[in-house]
Amino acid sequence: MAVHRYLCEFVPEDIEAALGRRYVIGPEIAVGGQGAVFRATRTSQPDGTAANDVVALKLHFDRRKTDRVQPEIPATENFSHPNLARLIEYGYCDVAGRCTRYIASEFIEGQPLSVLLKNGPLLESEVLAIGRDVLSAIAEIWSQRIVHGDIKPSNIMVRNSGGYMMLGSVDRAVLIDLGAARYLNLHNTRTLRPSRYLDQPDRRAAVRPIGTWGYFSPEQIKGADALSCASDVFSLGVVMLQCLLGRHPTDGDQGALTDGIRASGQRLAASTALLCSLDRMLSARPAFRPNPAELSRRFQSLRQTMLAELAMVDRAPMKAQD
């Protein structure tokens, strides 16, 4: 018998059967506390209409955790944006007799930023491109009063327009996985509360926001009554500084982010304009952080200027040697 190559509890044949043979399950992409993600091909829609969609198929086995993925559905089904993964299909099915929620989203060709960072720091032009695109995505979801809540390198897919990756080639980024997102309840527009869950079955235990340690905004980790897009802007600032450094700026220490951090005080191969913008993004006070749409346009302008200057240097004639 062949060795099973999947690390999670899901068996591909069981998934395909549960979904009416409408999906062909491919390789496993990720496994985590919320379930597993596979690359898959959807061959037909629920109504039987033929389809040919390559998707990231996320499955959640444990019914006790399905409330944690509930927000992902209303948070993504109405978006069509080049820097957000498109929702394709979702629902419940029985996998090997167990109730399972599934979510099929657009499969983004490229690689997670977390993988790219294993090779070291990125170029400033790449960091600007990532910041520009993710800020555009943040602005788009905030237009519907949605906070992503878990911006980190593994939730950012990077690629270049040619479809391959090499040093200096990153020029596109897509924000994925709105599983920790929260949105304003239309029946209660007073506040947008951070996602919270119990780390332990003991309900007396302290609660913590859904997300990733080392990337929470100060107000998110403090359990503020209301969050805004400024929280996502802070988290992205941490990611962008990590891209320039080639390592996490506080080595994952969430406590070191409590009062904000500064990029301009560190020795970085980056322009003053970018470092000053990062300082604002990483301010401890949400009101001091820049508007994501405006900053996205700013980063695009900075990147265009930088690339134009580099092109001029490349075209400049070499001085004659004595």
**Which fold, 111-310?**
Transferase(Phosphotransferase); domain 1 (1.10.510)
Question: Mean pLDDT across the stretch 32-54?
Answer: 91
| Chain region(s) in the chain for CATH 3.30.200.20 | 12-106
Residues 254-311: tens digit of each pLDDT: 999 999 999 998 889 899 999 999 999 999 999 999 999 999 999 999 999 999 988 8
d(CA 241, CA 290): 16
Mean pLDDT, the chain, rounded, equals 84
d(CA 124, CA 57): 33
| pLDDT confidence tier of residue 64, bands split at 50, 70 and 90 | low
Helix (H) or strand (E) holding 153: none
Q: Where are the beta strands (DSSP E) in 199-278?
A: 207-209
Q: Where are the beta strands (DSSP E) in 19-125?
A: 23-32, 35-44, 50-60, 87-95, 98-106, 111-112
Q: Which two tokens stand for residue 122?
A: 């990125």
> Residue 261: which of 240, 282, 286 has the closest Cα?
282
Residue-level pLDDT at 27: 95
Beta-carbon contacts of residue 81 (< 8 Å; ≥ 6 apart)? 136, 137, 140
Q: What percent of the chain has pLDDT over 90?
A: 60
With beta carbons less than 8 A apart as the criterion, state whether 74 and 181 touch.
no
Residue-level pLDDT at 205: 38
Q: What is the CATH number of domain 12-106?
A: 3.30.200.20
| Chain region(s) in the chain for CATH 1.10.510.10 | 111-310
Give whole-number Cα distances, 274 to 84, 269, 278, 296, in Å.
Answer: 24, 10, 6, 12
Residue-level pLDDT at 266: 84
